[in-house]
Amino acid sequence: MKAELVLAAAAALCMAGCIQVKTESEIKPIHITMDVNLKVDKDLDKAFADESQQKPKGDFKAVKEMVDRKAAGITNRATLEERTGATDDDRILIAEENAKRMKRFRDVAKENGTTLEVVQKRYAAKMREKIPAGTWYQDDDGKWQQKK
């Protein structure tokens, strides 16, 4: 009888000792907004500024003249694309200019640990802000329109 009483008391103590103890505080989410494009934009600006200082003025003039006469437009990937009235010389210039741009875009993407697509989209958006009225460009959906 004494053993049963001791056993019952021990069981009661064990049961009373089994309570939930909260060991961690509640985890609350935090919200952070980061502009991952900031460094890409700076690197794009630097890459094109450095390149424009080294580029012969004739190249820039030829590209600008071609775009101004609507023989080429700017794609949503920041490359040039042939439009109505492009000549064989225009096609050669487009290919050369696009090759240079793609190299710069790949370099910037690699330096920033991002994708080529991100770099191209960011630069295309920047170009659309700066192009003069009347310039043909492709919007984000791929539709061609003239800047107003």
Choice among 5-9, 33-37, 97-101, 136-140 with the minimum mean pLDDT: 33-37
Q: Which two tokens stand for residue 148?
A: 């107003």
Q: What would the mean pLDDT of 71-92 be, rounded to a whole number?
A: 96
pLDDT band at 88 (very low <50, low <70, confident <90, very high): very high
Count CB-CB contacts under 10 A for residue 66.
Answer: 23
Residue 94 is predicted with a pLDDT of: 96
pLDDT per position as a tens digit, 100-129: 999 999 999 999 999 999 999 999 999 999
Q: Are 46 and 119 in contact (CB under 8 A)?
A: no
Q: Is the pLDDT of residue 29 over 80?
A: no
Residue 108 is predicted with a pLDDT of: 93
Count CB-CB contacts under 10 A for residue 114.
Answer: 17
User: What whole-number distance in Å separates Cα of residue 146 and Cα of residue 148?
Assistant: 6
- Whether the full predicted model's pTM is greater than 0.75, yes or no, is no
Residue 17 is predicted with a pLDDT of: 59
User: What whole-number distance in Å separates Cα of residue 104 and Cα of residue 48?
Assistant: 8
User: What whole-number distance in Å separates Cα of residue 72 and Cα of residue 85?
Assistant: 9
Question: What's the chain's average pLDDT?
Answer: 82
Of residues 62 and 9, the one with the higher pLDDT is 62
Residue 143 is predicted with a pLDDT of: 97
Residue 59 is predicted with a pLDDT of: 81
